[in-house]
Amino acid sequence: MKIAEVSEKYGLSVDTLRYYERVGLIPPVHRNEGGIRDYNELDLRRVDFIKCMRSAGLPVEVLIEYMGLVQQGDSTIEARKEILVEQRDLVAARLEEMQKTLNLLNHKIEVYEKAILKKEKEMLQIEELMEEG
């Protein structure tokens, strides 16, 4: 799969895909004879994983470290687990924060909706008064 298609598929720009590879967030992608990127299954899974983690706010730096450890093999399993646990806790905390914010937003929207309805009712009454007058 060539880079433009990957970009399309995952909603990441071509530049972002190349950037991820440059900084080591994703190991070098498979290339065809002409030296052009040709993402294989593994490459795609990595892109998917990184996209998922980034969208939850995990810092690029942390993911670089993690992916580096993955490359080093089984001896780094404990270290990798530590990273994931730490990040999991951060994500869970953010999730809770966001849930609170979401509730507040919904509440505020409700209040605004009521205020708008009230305003509309008043408008109607004014119209009625004008018809009477």
101 binds, among its own copies, DNA, none (CB under 5 to 8 A by kind): its own copies
Whether the Cβ atoms of residue 66 and residue 84 lie closer than 8 Å to each other:
yes
Distance CA 66, CA 72 (A): 10
Question: Closest CB to its own copies among 23 and 105?
Answer: 105
Mention every residue, 6+ apart, whose C-beta is less than 8 A from residue 60.
23, 25, 54
Question: Closest CB to its own copies among 31 and 114?
Answer: 114
86 binds, among its own copies, DNA, none (CB under 5 to 8 A by kind): none
- Identity of the amino acid at 39: Y
Distance CA 16, CA 103 (A): 33
Residues that bind its own copies (CB under 8 A): 52-53, 55-57, 74, 77-78, 80-81, 84-85, 87-88, 91-92, 94-95, 97-102, 104-106, 108-109, 112-113, 115-116, 119
